[in-house]
Amino acid sequence: MCGIIGYVGAQQASPILLNGLSKLEYRGYDSAGIAVYDGQALNVKKAKGRLKNLIDITKNGSEPTGTIGIGHTRWSTHGRPSDINSHPQTSGTGNVAVVHNGIIENYMELKEFLISTGVKFISETDTEVVAHLFEYYYDGDLLSTMQKVMERVDGSYALGILCKYHPDTIIAVRKESPLIIGLGNGENFIASDVAGILNYTRDIYYIDDKEIAIVKSGSVEIFDMYSRKIEKEIFHVDWDIEAAEKGGYEHFMFKEIMEQPKAVLNAISPRIKDGRISLDISLSPDELRGFDKLYIVGCGSAYHVGMVAKYIYEDMLRIPTVVQLASEFRYSNPIIDKRTLVIVISQSGETADSLAALREAKRLGATIVSIVNVVGSSIAKESDHVLYTWAGPEIAVATTKAYSTQLACIYMFALFMADSLGKISEEEYIAFIHALLKLPEDLKTVLELKEVTQKLASYYFNAKHIFFIGRNIDYAISLEGSLKLKEISYTASEAYAAGELKHGTISLIEEGSPVVALMTTEKLFDKMLSNIKEVKARGASVIAVTLDNARDISDEVDHVIKIPYIHPMMEASLAIVPLQFFSYYVASMRGCDIDKPRNLAKSVTVE
């Protein structure tokens, strides 16, 4: 959500800021802007809409001139998208410029206070409060001024600030919103994401909560709230720049769908040694036996991974498993104690609701295992144990390979626990390992369905509503398939547990209604067929997703998509791929902005 970039060095800042913002577009935004110090004043350029509008008004980065600056892509939380509400926001004198990710929760209280001192506000944003507050408290020292501001501001934030009186310095701080420092040779950077600075450096500092960075061209100093200097370990980014580029594909989403076999292989292969699961998790059998309940927490697609996991874990481990939306977790008064194992799933590792749920679970005494993609992220750091997905950079807002690698980690952790607890026979264990090792090749086979799904999309891309139905794991897959369609094609779509149709929702089915029926769970095949007949009797047009060894039902449905037979616990990994393709092609045929769907952000770092 939103993107921050900052540069200080010997080069012209504007082109670097624009380039960095272009790499952060995937995070979602509705406006963009930069502030550059030209030796006399802070010059601000900003524009509503796509980054191209900002590039045009800055004449492709040729102005404003100067070798220090900050930039931002904004995703609206306070105030509608407009030029005025875009970042950077400035103080009344124009001597302070601020870019901000997050939400200032007490901004109205602070705004009223500042107005009482004579400050005049021009925007609807909460961020403008920070600019005025920084100027109000400015005492000649950037660090002490920032500390005073932090003492007054409540909420989540990552801030990058320029002050005219310190023309060689960017001051930056984070609290519950991601921020990194890029280390160059005679130049340094700030950014909300590695992708924004990867063209310039691979060496970074991860900034932790309530840490303040004083960034100059030749030095970076980091302090805590008490002015104590903090020594940081340099983290070297080792994935290729090309991994964050489209590589000849029209969209990042399509590229990332096609990358799933490799991503899953990267997640699995280092963790199977001599035919056994080997995880870098120090949970002993005795510790695992001490847990009498599992909680799985996530948002969006990560929540859907948790839904799949519930069916697997309760079946394999026979441990009660609760799956909860992270945004609801804190407000449900969860029944958690030291005998509860909580699994937190997040692609970015910075999802605000998931991070808050993690902290609440820890406060209640739970042990935390996180499944995340981003090394050094907040969720990873605050967890007791971490399973990294190693999916590589995922740029498209609609997740595909992160979802698939999260599933792979769920499978491995389930097998790890089942083996440790003696809940699986050696024969079953070997069969599961064999299926895991074969999964990347099975995914390659499923990728060959892209033309089939493209043809199906051509039949249904104008549909006003599309329904997904399934039972057991197929229901969990339906939830994710429906979400994919909604988020990138804006097609009204719902997923239902197929057995619930008769309890009201079947009233929505009318002549021509498209229904995608997941029926990969062998033991429920006949039950699903009965549900299909129910919707067919009311005029639905049915696309069935089945296993290639299932009996022929082509006379019962309108279209059949067949996926390879796979271990029953891993059906979700294959069945989701044709649904990803289907959503992609429907969105393409509807002319949607697939990688940057409206109103959405890649990493949701506000509650």
Q: How far is CA 605 from CA 100, 124, 156, 323, in A?
A: 12, 20, 8, 21
- Is pLDDT above 70 for 27? no
Token pair of 295 as six digits? 């909680």
Contact 367, 342 (CB under 8 A): yes
What is the pLDDT confidence band of residue 244, given thresholds at 50, 70 and 90? Answer: low
- Once rounded to an integer, what is the mean pLDDT over residues 48-63? 91
- Mean pLDDT check: name the lowest of 3-17, 388-402, 471-485: 388-402
What is the pLDDT confidence band of residue 376, given thresholds at 50, 70 and 90? Answer: confident
Contact 475, 467 (CB under 8 A): no
Question: Across all residues in the chain, what is the average pLDDT?
Answer: 92
Q: Residue 257 and residue 489: Cα distance in Å, rounded?
A: 16
What is the pLDDT confidence band of residue 234, given thresholds at 50, 70 and 90? Answer: very high
Q: Residue 218 and residue 80: Cα distance in Å, rounded?
A: 39
For the stretch 93-104, pLDDT in tens is 999 999 998 889
Print the SS3 string covering 92-142: CCCCEEEEEEEEECCHHHHHHHHHHCCCCCCCCCCHHHHHHHHHHHCCCCH
What was the pLDDT predicted at 1? 53
- Is pLDDT above 90 for 457? yes
Rg of the chain (C-alpha set):
25
Q: Residue type for 591, please?
A: G
Which of the two residues, 250 and 119, has the higher pLDDT score? 119
What is the pLDDT confidence band of residue 500, given thresholds at 50, 70 and 90? Answer: confident
What was the pLDDT predicted at 181? 96
- Once rounded to an integer, what is the mean pLDDT over residues 9-28? 88
What is the pLDDT confidence band of residue 412, given thresholds at 50, 70 and 90? Answer: very high
Domains and CATH numbers, the chain: 3-238 (3.60.20.10), 252-443 (3.40.50.10490), 450-589 (3.40.50.10490)
Which of the two residues, 595 and 410, has the higher pLDDT score? 410
Report the Cα–Cα distance between both ends of the chain, in Å, rounded. 11
What was the pLDDT predicted at 520? 95
What was the pLDDT predicted at 576? 97
What was the pLDDT predicted at 267? 94
Contact 143, 214 (CB under 8 A): yes
Q: What is the DSSP string of 317-337?
A: H---EEEEEHHHHGGG-----
- Is pLDDT above 70 for 332? yes
- Once rounded to an integer, what is the mean pLDDT over residues 311-315? 96
- Is pLDDT above 90 for 49? no
What is the pLDDT confidence band of residue 286, given thresholds at 50, 70 and 90? Answer: very high
What was the pLDDT predicted at 79? 78
- Is pLDDT above 90 for 338? yes
Catalytic residues: 2, 602
